[in-house]
Amino acid sequence: MIGGGSGAFIGAVHRMAARLDGQIELVCGAFSSSPEKSKETGQELYLPEDRIYDTWEDMISQEAEHNEGDRMDLVSIVTPNHLHAAPAIMALEHGFPVICDKPLCLSIAEALEIKDAVEKSGLPFALTHTYTGYPMVKQARHMITSGELGPVRKVVVEYPQGWLTEKLEDEGQKQAAWRSDPAKAGKAGAYGDIGTHAANMAEYVSGLQIIKVLSQMSKVVEGRLLDDDTSALLEFKGGVPGVLICSQVSAGEENAVRVKVYGTNGGIEWCQEDENTLLVKRHGAPNQVYRTGVDNSYLAEAALVHARVPSGHPEGYIEAFANIYRNFTMAVRAYFSGSSHNPTYDFPNIDDGVHGMALVDAIVESSIKGNAWTSPKY
């Protein structure tokens, strides 16, 4: 693991998700830019002293010198955005598959460099767009992309939060500080942090790619350097219209990710705060409530293989995260054994990451141009 030291927000979540299936063991790490903090974290995680590294460069180069079976098998990157590209590229160049927190990196230029490294190495690469790991999101995608609800006519996605309603970056709050700093977060704040999740969800569930955006980015809190609220009209492939809303100043909201996709015969609605439920709205018929669980005969295989507990039991964020880690692990095993990976066990990949960064650019450019329709450019 690179990043995720003591006090980090997402590192512990990644570690829990990685461990859940018993397929991944944490064997080494460079957990902080501070060697002292990295050592402290490694000791807390009971790693041997010689596998706790001062820098990620040391970790990758020294682990590559170990014999096969002794060295690390893959790298998890859980650093702020500006520290994704360099370690990802170095890991790939040294023969290590990579799973990386989103968004992919700081800029489209870095994204294309990572993609080049992935293509040259041929190694598996995953991006942790967590919400695509939920069983009922898999069910929603299956129902839409199989044509069960007819051709797609409309897509709506929203991701409201309220945690940045106050200017926490001025109060020493670590997460707020780097997420509102252009040097560390990139050119987008709320959109880069959670809007990228929303866009990815809209594309994943609908099966369609966003080809144009018309956006308005706002800095609601006075003095904030990056947007804390963004709204956008979307155009998907085939001319399908859509709407995206993301905000970190929606006071009282937690993580209400919600996606709606409508076809000619009906639509679906899913919300992360009621993650076990999928609302199916059929034209001319009563609404149906689909529920996750291993014994639901009406669910698609894509949903069933990602469900872990019996019906009626909470199945949430860590499990969705773990599905991405498990599926990536299966791809890594397949790669090194020379076998094929079952696409039912899917995960966001390098192309999703590059497209996501191109959308960041398009959202920013559209807003700067006074809300003009803009296409993502690679």
Q: Is the pLDDT of residue 157 over 90?
A: yes
Instruction: Answer yes or no: are the C-beta atoms of 41 and 29 closer than 8 Å.
Output: yes
Span 306-311, mean pLDDT?
91
Please report the pLDDT score of residue 377 as a whole number: 94
Q: Which residue has the higher pLDDT, 174 or 94?
A: 94
Please report the pLDDT score of residue 288 as a whole number: 96
Please report the pLDDT score of residue 111 as a whole number: 98
Q: Which of 74, 63, 77, 64 is nearest to 105 (CA)?
A: 77
When the pLDDT of each residue in the chain is averaged and rounded to a whole number, the result is: 96
What is the DSSP-derived secondary structure letter of residue 169? Answer: G
Q: Is the pLDDT of residue 240 over 90?
A: yes
Q: Is the pLDDT of residue 301 over 90?
A: yes
Give the pLDDT band of residue 378 (cuts 50, 70, 90). confident
pLDDT in tens, 79-111: 999 999 999 999 999 999 999 999 999 999 999
Give the pLDDT band of residue 260 (cuts 50, 70, 90). very high
| Phi and psi, residue 79, nearest 5° | -90, 170
Q: Is the pLDDT of residue 292 over 90?
A: yes
Instruction: Answer yes or no: are the C-beta atoms of 150 and 264 closer than 8 Å.
Output: yes
Please report the pLDDT score of residue 295 as a whole number: 78
Task: Tell me how long the chain is.
Answer: 378
Which CA distances in Å does 62 have to 2, 70, 116?
14, 12, 24
Please report the pLDDT score of residue 320 as a whole number: 97
Please report the pLDDT score of residue 67 as a whole number: 94
User: Rounded to an integer, what distance in angstroms lies between the CA atom of residue 231 and that of residue 246?
Assistant: 6
Please report the pLDDT score of residue 293 as a whole number: 86
CA 160 to chain centroid, in Å, comes to: 16
Span 289-317, mean pLDDT?
91
Q: Is the pLDDT of residue 305 over 90?
A: yes
User: Rounded to an integer, what distance in angstroms lies between the CA atom of residue 139 and that of residue 156?
Assistant: 17
The label of the residue with tokens 């990295």 reads 38
Q: Is the pLDDT of residue 348 over 90?
A: yes
Query: Which structure tokens are listed for 100?
Result: 């990386």
- The arrangement of strands across the sheet holding 258-263 comes to 210-218, 229-236, 240-247, 152-160, 258-263, 266-271, 277-282, 288-291
- Number of CB atoms found within 10 A of residue 65's CB: 9
Please report the pLDDT score of residue 72 as a whole number: 97
Q: What percent of the chain has pLDDT over 70?
A: 100
pLDDT in tens, 23-39: 999 999 999 999 999 99
What residues does each domain of the chain span? Answer: 135-310+352-368
Please report the pLDDT score of residue 106 as a whole number: 96
Please report the pLDDT score of residue 8 as a whole number: 80
Please report the pLDDT score of residue 311 as a whole number: 86
Fill in the amino acid letter for 95: G
User: Rounded to an integer, what distance in angstroms lies between the CA atom of residue 330 and that of residue 122?
Assistant: 16
Residues in a beta bridge with 217:
230
Span 194-206, mean pLDDT?
98
User: Rounded to an integer, what distance in angstroms lies between the CA atom of residue 378 and that of residue 376?
Assistant: 7
Please report the pLDDT score of residue 330 as a whole number: 98
Residues 6 or more apart whose Cβ sits within 8 Å of residue 211: 235, 236, 237, 375, 376
pLDDT in tens, 330-347: 999 999 999 999 999 999
User: Rounded to an integer, what distance in angstroms lies between the CA atom of residue 261 and that of residue 207?
Assistant: 10
Please report the pLDDT score of residue 155 as a whole number: 98
| Range 135-310+352-368 has CATH code 3.40.50.300 | no
User: Rounded to an integer, what distance in angstroms lies between the CA atom of residue 179 and that of residue 74?
Assistant: 27
Please report the pLDDT score of residue 213 as a whole number: 98
pLDDT in tens, 43-52: 999 999 999 9
Please report the pLDDT score of residue 6 as a whole number: 84
